[in-house]
Structure 1
Amino acid sequence: MPIEAMVAEGDQVAVYFIFEGKHTGIPFFGIPATEKNVRFSLMMLLRIIDGKIIEKRSHVDVHNILRQLGVNS
């Protein structure tokens, strides 16, 4: 998952990824594996102290993923 953009200020780092993969394995929101390809963006805000991530907030467009899996949300 390559990093598309990253910005840091103070003890916080914002990272933007584009994830591409296949829905296999464990269920996603109760949906059994579909073997469908998915592509979605992921944004993370990390707080780092003494070189360690102590807090992580993330945002992903779940409705977009569900649409790609064929679920009408």
Structure 2
Amino acid sequence: MPKELRELLEQIENKKKEARKLLAENKIEEAKKLKDEIVALQEKFDIAKELYEEQKQTIEDKEPLKPTVQV
């Protein structure tokens, strides 16, 4: 997985932890705002992952160059 995707996942997890903490402190409005940020980050991650998978598949689908040996 590329660095960009790992960083996005880390951001999502950190926001989730923060939201859980706010919820435990009964700070509902702040937790809702974080939830919106989490949803946006998750959408960004999903799009980036899909593009990465497409690029990876395109590379895998290409035939390797066949060596040309002249005798």
TM-score normalised by structure 1 residue count: 0.25
Greater share of residues in strand: 1
Flag the structure with more relative contact order, 1 or 2, with Cα contacts below 8 A and sequence separation at least 6: 2
Q: Flag the structure with larger Rg.
A: 2
Greater share of residues in helix: 2
